[in-house]
A and B are shown apart, each in its own frame.
Chain A
């Protein structure tokens, strides 16, 4: 018998992972056995520490909260929105529920029988990977998930894995070598200079004879077995495994597994009796196979050219795409990508310093400001940065400033080549106004705080979100201290900042319609940045400053921190944090899809689910703005 209800259930499921990875027939098979469960606000689906049942769940309408205990009032761990799945982990690892699931509002969830799901997905590699990743990241418990930074390392979402396996491996040409008569110390110095983990020992004909790796040094030198002046031949691993230059990835991997090694020497004819032409490491294989943050970070740290940095940053974009497809928790995505962005900046600065004629004349620190400063820059957007150098004697000042301006110009130029557009408003360290000594910066911030005019507030919204990227952290700390001392003595500043935070009203109009742009070439588009993200960013910054929350720049982390500080406003702050994450994810997806900044959204292209999801995020904006009005006595 035809079952139209099952078809409709399937239509819904196929939009969301992991169901979108299933074949149509398998999906229908599951859909036929789904229970449609209606929930009233406060209804419990499962309790903590109770045995698992036979179903896991996906939200069809409404939202379901996960709690750390069975009491509805507190400890929300996460909110599952339309399309989110929950309650699957206990079924697969066969343990009691670790969390309680309680309806946040009137909701409909689909209960999916685990048996049927397991049956049809047992041979589906994609789903397995998805589930393993979801579990490893503890999606169901973001608090512990934050600690678990390792999960990305081993996971390669790569559909073209098979193709990659049979392509020839990219090995390092002209590897660093040393001769048989070198001492270990010389070899180690060479390794340090080139930031490498192994060095090939060659004979006078340049035939490879052995290899010294970090672990050889650790095991044979650091333990005192040999002195550091010993000959490399005493401690090298030998014989070495060699192969031809057209070796495939699959073959290379096999060789490494068979011989339990991490390096292969590539020689002219593939034997140890000819010249060494390259070295293939396990790392090279990973690079060929796909993108992992650790590989990308290593590549960045070792980059010698902007071109390499650019390619690494582009790889990060592919990584970002796959993370979003897997529905990874946004907090993870943000951490990984901002780490990569930071590493790119650091490396660009290091390379620029090398190119300068002399080392920096005094300590300095490079700051990211704006979205990068908040650690929320997921897509390629503008670069916003600033530079603080240590105070110097007045007669040296001009020279020092010129040096840093020159340096900053090189860095911003590199960043531009890598893919970060110049800031339109010229808020970059290469601008003399934003490349200043510590005391100048301290005065600058004081003037913004004590004379908050329109321009000051505009700049504050960018400069108050700074984070340390490179250099002397002490300078950043001193600036931070000055700022927090100053703001403790003024309420005018907060009022002005508060008014500014309210300049963007909640994004829904009187009839609960999205407020779209009224004119210009963006007519009828929805500006998610100014209408939805900015109000939360501004509110988060204002509250963080007023509560003297230091060094938390991330908007959602600010709200999470606020939530911990003010238990009676917990619900509001938590919902702001949640909404911010959801909106940022949304914008990033849109940006990737349309290959732009994701700032403007064509509402017509959204599905009804997406619109509902978006609308749900707007409620907290309204609430937080109301609360700002009361808190800072802002009469509008």
Chain B
């Protein structure tokens, strides 16, 4: 006789999730230069992880100092929930001619794209939470990737005595400080690219301060 009322029933995960989990069995790169980073951004209907939905995901990959356009990621999602008041920010309308996919399809593609790479996002907690909420709705686990917040990372380029007094930089303010060319602000892809360039610039500043190591990045 088996005791299985204390152990949870083993869930049958779909193959794509298993594949995703398995990517973490390979050892990550030791060198920051060889590591593939994924800068990503989501556009959502709002800020509530329970009631709001992701409308689009944009991402670019970074290896060393290069962003490959060929390796860019962009998806628009079909959502039942729609909030008119945020349309002015992301400009994605309910009945757009955009080629939209179902959430589960989006998850499949996104996981296959990010694999076990290190994620980079501005105010990363928000995007991270929204993606996890989406995964949960489909009975999947949380993202296993390591994640870097460019907002927090930027503060590390400042001297320790000023770090606490620093405000939270919005992506616009960060771009201004770092002189990142702004195009396509408030589209997922555009913001992902801005985040990627900002990340490269912060990395270079950290390197100059001799602080570029894994410990600082996370």
A36-B74 in contact (CB<8A): no
Task: Select from chain B the residue with minimum beta-carbon distance to A33.
Answer: B70
Residues of A close to B1: CB separation below 8 A: none
Distance of A3 Cα from B192 Cα, bound (Å): 12
| Known contacts A2-B74, A4-B74, A4-B189: A38-B69 contact under CB 8 Å | no
Contacting chain A: which of B18-26, B60-68, B144-152?
B60-68
Contact partner of A32 (CB less than 8 A), chosen from B65, B69, B183, B204, is B69
A33-B181 in contact (CB<8A): no
Task: Select from chain B the residue with minimum beta-carbon distance to A11.
Answer: B183
Closest chain-A Cβ to B190's Cβ sits at a distance in Å of 6
Task: Select from chain B the residue with minimum beta-carbon distance to A61.
Answer: B181
| Known contacts A35-B69, A36-B67, A38-B201: A8-B183 contact under CB 8 Å | yes
| Tally of contact residues, A, Cβ under 8 A | 25
* Consensus secondary structure, chain A interface: mixed
Residues of A close to B201: CB separation below 8 A: 38, 106
Closest chain-B Cβ to A114's Cβ sits at a distance in Å of 15
- 0 or 1 for each of A13-38: is its CB under 8 Å from B? (1 = yes): 00000000000000000011111111
A8-B190 in contact (CB<8A): yes
Contact partner of A36 (CB less than 8 A), chosen from B58, B66, B75, is B66
- 0 or 1 for each of B68-80: is its CB under 8 Å from A? (1 = yes): 1110101100000
* Consensus secondary structure, chain B interface: mixed
Residues of A close to B183: CB separation below 8 A: 8, 11
Would you call B153 an interface residue if the criterion is a C-beta within 8 Å of the partner chain's C-beta atoms? no
Interface size class of B (residues with CB under 8 A): 20 to 34
Residues of B close to A5: CB separation below 8 A: 60, 69, 72, 74, 189, 193
A108-B74 in contact (CB<8A): no
Most buried by A among B74, B181, B197, B207: B181
Contact partner of B184 (CB less than 8 A), chosen from A8, A33, A36, A40, is A8
Residues of A close to B68: CB separation below 8 A: 35-36
A-B contact count (CB 8 A): 70
Task: Select from chain A the residue with minimum beta-carbon distance to B190.
Answer: A4
Closest chain-A Cβ to B17's Cβ sits at a distance in Å of 22
Task: Select from chain A the residue with minimum beta-carbon distance to B192.
Answer: A5
Residues of B close to A4: CB separation below 8 A: 58, 72, 74, 184, 187, 189-190
Residues of A close to B74: CB separation below 8 A: 1-5
B70-A37 in contact (CB<8A): no
Distance of A31 Cα from B70 Cα, bound (Å): 8
Would you call B51 an interface residue if the criterion is a C-beta within 8 Å of the partner chain's C-beta atoms? no
B204-A37 in contact (CB<8A): no
B58-A60 in contact (CB<8A): no
Residues of B close to A40: CB separation below 8 A: 204, 207
| Known contacts A5-B60, A5-B72: A35-B190 contact under CB 8 Å | no
Task: Select from chain A the residue with minimum beta-carbon distance to B187.
Answer: A4
Residues of B close to A562: CB separation below 8 A: none
Would you call B200 an interface residue if the criterion is a C-beta within 8 Å of the partner chain's C-beta atoms? yes
| Known contacts A35-B68, A106-B204: A8-B193 contact under CB 8 Å | yes
B197-A108 in contact (CB<8A): yes
Q: A1-B74, A8-B184, A37-B66 are in contact. List 19 more A-B contacts (CB 8 A).
A: A2-B74, A4-B58, A5-B60, A5-B189, A6-B72, A8-B183, A9-B69, A11-B183, A34-B69, A35-B68, A35-B69, A36-B68, A36-B69, A36-B193, A38-B67, A38-B200, A40-B207, A106-B179, A106-B204
Q: Would you mind naming 11 contact pairs between A and B with Cβ atoms under 8 Å apart? A: A3-B69, A3-B74, A5-B60, A5-B74, A5-B193, A35-B66, A35-B68, A36-B68, A36-B196, A61-B179, A111-B66
Closest CB pairs A-B (n = 10): A4-B189, A36-B67, A38-B200, A5-B72, A38-B65, A34-B69, A40-B204, A35-B66, A37-B66, A33-B70
Q: Hey, which bits of chain A sit against chain B, CB under 8 A?
A: 1-6, 8-9, 11, 31-40, 43, 60-61, 106, 108, 111
